Structure 1
Amino acid sequence: MTAVEPVQVEVSPDHSQAWTHFKEISYNDFGRSETLMPYKVCRMFESGRLLPMQRGFIDYPQIVNEHFGMYSFGLSLKFEPALWKVRRGASFPYKIHTRVVGVGRTSLNLQSRLINKLDEKELATLNLKYVYVNRHTGRSATLPDWLVNKYTSTLREKISVELPKTVPRVPLSASSYDVMVAESDVDHNNHTNNASYIRYCSDAVHSAVKKGRLPRLEPDASNFPLLDLQAVYLGQSWMGDKLRVLLWQQEDQQDAICFVIKRKRKEQETVIFYSCMVFEKVMVASRL
């Protein structure tokens, strides 16, 4: 054994809010452009949510067991431009404030904010639809009445998670990028971590730019900061699965890129993920 220090976590008495405190951003969170990688920011939000859940946030220990679990269905994530100006070698202590902002029969809406503790500036906001699922059938399950009543009565502000109603048709001109799920992509649930899909999409963008398929983001996608991200998780994948990322530029919104990820098994492909990412319209000074 070696000496360790627990992450500081606060959970409100009614379990509807939580604050998770981190001392700094890790060197590993920065990428080739010396700035933060989007999928790493998603992991920051994940840790800021799951750690307090283990300590009672949303009564997680009372409702999750071998029969039922809570899974992300969809998210909307907005970034402040200041977040992408933080360079490798600099850091700040930060906190993730998460609260219940919506209650349904089978799901909870959560909002998380990433806050710089040095100046209290909000640098990113995540709205997440968290669905209660029967582990045996894989289908949504009804939340306990006592939990629905409890969080309905304590709800301070109701916020809906804006998600696409349907997956758009993939145009024939879409660019394609193949991925095989590696062991390092899999989380404690033994399926592909949600943030890994964001990384696959980011890698697909850079591949498409190099092939001349996304002139909008040339000469390097790293020079166009990500402003907005929506994602819907429609299925799962596991280590060893072959995935195909399809991406294209929206015709009616030139700064938006759409993504569909399909899981390939034998001769069949199943859509398991859909996302839309909005990038800065104007290229910033080269970060490379």
Structure 2
Amino acid sequence: MRQSSSAFLRIARHLNYRRTFLARDCTRVDIPSLPFEAFDSSGTKINPWSILTLVESVRSFSFSQYATVGQPRRSTLDFHEILDTHLIFIVGATVDIKRPCHDFEGPKFPLYVIEKLKYLGKSSKTLSYEIYDCSTDTLQVSCDLTDVLVSGVSRKPVAYPAWWLQKHGDLITPEKAKLSEDPIPTGQPAVSEVKVKSGDIDTFQHTNWASYLKFCYESLTEHATDNSYEQMNIQRLTAGVKSCKLIYKDETNFGDNLTVKSWNSDSQETRVIFNVLKDKKLCMYCDIDFY
């Protein structure tokens, strides 16, 4: 457990980021640019899973105690101390990609991200991430990420420790509405098979939360190309992703064989709904909306 948590934080040492603590529950992280591989094959749009990877890198940087020279033993809400004895597992995410993000002529570097606590419960929290370009302060992407605190021994959800609640418990907010799944549409799904590879896993040796979105999007591209959906086709995909919702049900690991099922939404022709299954058991729900 310590090895996987420290690996997540250790990556922060190699990121050319800069952070500013605006408040104990709000951090600004400045980023030089998106990596080359973040862009799609057309060179005009950002792969949606690359946005999740960017958010994860910001989390690593803000949670690390050594990311900022001259400010050791400090992190957003002291999460570096939480990760000494616990794990943090992501259970859900929503992503809204604004139109300027799809504008080829619009600035894409440098960027800054505002990470802010949006909800805090006894064992879970939601952090919001807003990505802006520095030159115009235009909001490019907003992402809400919900995670749960997990025991490093039992790997079961646990409450935040007493010392942490004594320090930050005043930030606890009323219970928020949980993310909900759309009903499964009528009709037969489009089906793809995928095997989890080494590049798909995270530092906890599970399938990375961003990899699931990649599985879904690549399956969508495959079936939109061969006109498997009633409304969604490859031309619609070029308009760009507007939003995504991801709900994680169960973990999968390196070498697992997964089934990706997808349907065009019955109520919204620009939405596709996904179920990712392992041995017929639902591991992850996702929906993707397009402009």
Matched residue type, 1:61: H
TM-score by length of 2: 0.84
CA RMSD of aligned residues (A): 2.4
**Change in 2 beyond 3 A, CA 1:122/1:198:** same
Q: 1:145 deviation in Å?
A: 3.5
Work out the number of aligned pairs and report it: 268
2:179 partner amino acid: L
1:118 has 2:135 as partner: yes
Label 1:220 to 1:182 Cα distance change in 2 as closer, same or farther (>3 A).
Answer: farther
Q: Work out the CA distance in 2 between the residues paired with 1:159 and 1:84.
A: 34
Q: Distance in 1 between matches of 2:87 and 2:234?
A: 43
Code of the aligned partner of 2:146: K
Q: Secondary structure at the match of 1:51?
A: helix
Tell me the amino acid that sits aligned with residue 30 of structure 2: H
Tell me the equivalent position of 1:285: none
CA distance in 2, matches of 1:6, 1:184: 22
TM-score, structure 1 as length reference = 0.85
Cα distance in 1, alignment partners of residues 83 and 185 from structure 2: 36
**Partner Cα separation in structure 2 for residue 149 and residue 205 of structure 1:** 47
Q: Compare 52-61 and 75-84 and name the one that shifted more.
A: 52-61
- Are residue 25 (structure 1) and residue 42 (structure 2) matched? no
1:129, distance to aligned residue in structure 2 (A): 1.1
User: How far does residue 150 in structure 1 lie from its aligned partner after superposition?
Assistant: 3.9
Write out aligned runs for 1:1-288 (5 A): 6-12=16-22, 14=24, 16-34=25-43, 35-55=45-65, 56-65=75-84, 68-86=86-104, 91-148=108-165, 150-154=167-171, 160=176, 163-164=179-180, 168-169=183-184, 171-264=186-279, 269-280=280-291
Deviation (angstroms), 1:58 = 2.5
Q: What residue ranges of structure 1 are gaps of 5+ in the alignment?
A: 281-288
- Whether the 8 Å CA contact 2:185–2:265 is kept in 1: the answer is no
Identity %: 16
Letter in 2 for 1:68: H
Paired residues of 1:229 and 1:277 also in contact (CA < 8 A): yes
- Is 1:247–1:260's contact at 8 Å kept on the other side of the alignment? yes
What code does the residue aligned with 1:60 have? F
SS in 2 for 1:42: helix
Whichever residue aligns with residue 41 of structure 1, its letter is I
Counterparts of 2:150 and 2:201 in 1: how far apart (Å)? 19
**Structure 1 residues 154 and 143, CA, compared in 2 at 3 Å: closer, same or farther?**
closer
Q: Does the CA contact (< 8 Å) of 1:224 and 1:279 recur in 2?
A: yes
TM-superposed deviation, 1:216: 2.2
**Structure 2 unaligned blocks of 5 or more:** 1-13, 66-74
